[in-house]
Structure 1
Amino acid sequence: MLELKQDSNTFYLGEPDHKEAEIHYVRREGKLIVDHTFVAESLRGRKIGDALVRRMVEFAREEQAVLVPLCPFAKKVIERTPEYQDIASK
């Protein structure tokens, strides 16, 4: 299992000054807006992006916030995962 870390508006893999993968969000009026997801080329194909989105969904549930996926990757993952439909803004 991946050990994702959290800092200000970001969940990530790696070190604070060298993030190998990350998902970034902005908090606005009860919403968590996902605006960026990144996975280093060397880590692609390992479902790390999916794990970042899953953590973001969990966080939105913990915060009782609506998730707004502006990032195309996050939006695609959320749309294809039925368990995430309750938390995401349409």
Structure 2
Amino acid sequence: MTNEELAPVTEHLIDNIDQGRFELYRDEDLAGWLYYTHLKPNRFALRHTEVEASHRGQRVGSALVVRVLDEIRTRGGTITAICPFVAEFLSRTTSYIDLVDARHPGYPDRAAAEAALAQAGG
């Protein structure tokens, strides 16, 4: 292993309110982002996750979703899972079930989310 491979990766999450997205930075590089809509009273509709091409295959998507969910938890918020990636993530864990909005949960898994997006033309 080289020294670069052994060096710890520094990550931080930014809430870019102007763009309506959470951004995950790794070693000061924008690695991925998750678009959201902040709804009343404190619900976040998680709409779309993207990972920068240079960071694909490095588990950035999962790291991003975990950080976003942890951030929403600290804010006392709830979520509605619209993004297929987020829906898939949530379908594989119970760690964040308390965040899912009871009245507006979103989609239960990736297949349901993708089918709804296809039907809507998105």
Same fold (TM over 0.5): yes
Q: Which runs of 4+ in 1 moved over 6 A?
A: none
Extract unaligned runs of 5+ from structure 2: 1-9, 106-122
1:43-58 mapped onto 2 (5 Å cutoff): 43-58=55-70
Asked if residue 26 in structure 1 is aligned to residue 37 in structure 2, the reply is yes
Asked if residue 62 in structure 1 is aligned to residue 74 in structure 2, the reply is yes
Query: 2: distance between equivalents of 1:55 and 1:13?
Result: 8
**Alpha carbons 2:31, 2:60 under 8 Å: kept:** no
Asked if residue 3 in structure 1 is aligned to residue 12 in structure 2, the reply is yes
Extract unaligned runs of 5+ from structure 1: none
- Paired positions, count: 87
CA 1:87–1:39: 2 relative to 1, 3 Å: same
- TM-score normalised by length of structure 2: 0.62
What SS class does the counterpart of residue 99 from structure 2 fall into?
Answer: coil
- TM-score normalised by length of structure 1: 0.81
What SS class does the counterpart of residue 100 from structure 2 fall into?
Answer: coil
Q: Which has the larger radius of gyration?
A: 2
Query: 2: distance between equivalents of 1:51 and 1:73?
Result: 12
Deviations 1:23-82 (A, max 9, x none): 111111221001111002221111111111112211221221111110101111112122
Query: 2: distance between equivalents of 1:83 and 1:5?
Result: 22
Larger strand proportion of the pair: 1
Q: Counterpart amino acid of 1:72?
A: P
